[in-house]
Amino acid sequence: MAIVVFCIGLVVGSFLSVAYSRYSPSQSFFAYLIAISVPRSSCPNCHQPLSAWQLIPLVSWFILRRRCYFCQHKIAFYYPFMELTIAVLFLLIYLDRGLNFESGLLMLLIVWFWILAQIDFRYFLLPDFFTQPLMWGGVIMSYLNLNSLTIADSLMGIFCGYLMLKLPAVGYFCLTKRVGLGGGDIKLAAALGAWLPYQSMPILLIMASLLGILYIILTKCRTRKHIAFGPFLLISGYLIIYQSRL
């Protein structure tokens, strides 16, 4: 079963590469769905459609010796890295929690959080068609008693998450007349609040802020005008969700 979970993770990781590479900020939700489901995968360099044997997660990368079969252009390491990372994370969740509804939900959340973090890191954007389902998913889970939160806790978490970032954003704008925090981050905090005990929302903010500061120090990007805050909220939120148990 561990091997099966690992292989599923490889397939999901391969799909995540497609979902990320085919996203564009100008897309509507339906245009994005079509982009990730209809066109055949092709080489990003020569645009030659790929055969099934060239799309086997991780294996094809080694068979092809890290180069496109048609144009011999080097295949980016990003693709096997994504596949292997998701596979390892799925395996770790399975080994820790077994195979049940909770572990399946944790795997789904890590996929959702991963694609959101990548989009925000590249485009400084958190699409509503990712954050809104995340929020309503948490509310529905609480309403159906599928997690440890009550519906009141979930709604309170949304309220606390929204105000937690909205008030500082408004205060900063009033003082400087500049936008210091994007609206997507505020919506994301509210969405995460639907999954977290509202008492842990300050911890979420502290953890995300510390991760952001650590990122700035390690990458020496202190001269950059903006950094994406969403990935740090998502990492912190997932760690709290995982630790608190659904």
Q: Are 216 and 199 in contact (CB under 8 A)?
A: no
Give 3-state DSSP helix, strand, coil % of the chain, rounded to 5: 70, 0, 30
- Are residues 80 and 130 located together in one domain of the fold? no
- Are residues 149 and 202 located together in one domain of the fold? yes
- Are residues 95 and 130 located together in one domain of the fold? no
Whether 112 is in a domain gets the answer no
pLDDT at 112: 96
- Are residues 79 and 172 located together in one domain of the fold? no
Q: Which domain holds residue 27?
A: 1-99
pLDDT at 245: 67
Whether 113 is in a domain gets the answer no
- Are residues 80 and 154 located together in one domain of the fold? no
Whether 238 is in a domain gets the answer yes
pTM beyond 0.85, yes or no: yes
Whether 9 is in a domain gets the answer yes
- Are residues 179 and 228 located together in one domain of the fold? yes
- Are residues 53 and 92 located together in one domain of the fold? yes
pLDDT at 225: 67
Per-residue pLDDT of the chain (246 residues; tens, 9 = 90+): 999 999 999 999 999 998 998 999 998 999 999 989 888 888 888 888 888 888 888 888 888 888 888 888 888 888 899 999 999 999 999 999 999 999 999 999 999 999 999 999 999 999 999 999 999 999 999 999 888 899 999 999 999 999 999 998 888 888 888 887 888 999 999 999 999 989 999 999 999 999 998 988 888 765 566 789 999 999 999 999 998 866
- Are residues 152 and 246 located together in one domain of the fold? yes
Query: pLDDT tens digit string along 194-229?
Result: 999 899 999 999 999 999 989 888 887 655 667 899
- Are residues 136 and 243 located together in one domain of the fold? yes
- DSSP-assigned letters across all residues of 170-224: HHHHHHHSS--S-HHHHHHHHHHHTTS-GGGHHHHHHHHHHHHHHHHHHHT-TT-
Whether 155 is in a domain gets the answer yes
pLDDT at 76: 85
- Are residues 163 and 238 located together in one domain of the fold? yes
Q: Point out the domain boundary residue: 99, 116, 149.
A: 99
Query: What residues does 136 pair with on adjacent strands?
Result: none
Looking at the 3D structure of the chain, how many domains does it have?
Answer: 2
pLDDT at 88: 96
- Are residues 70 and 9 located together in one domain of the fold? yes
Q: Point out the domain boundary residue: 99, 118, 136.
A: 99
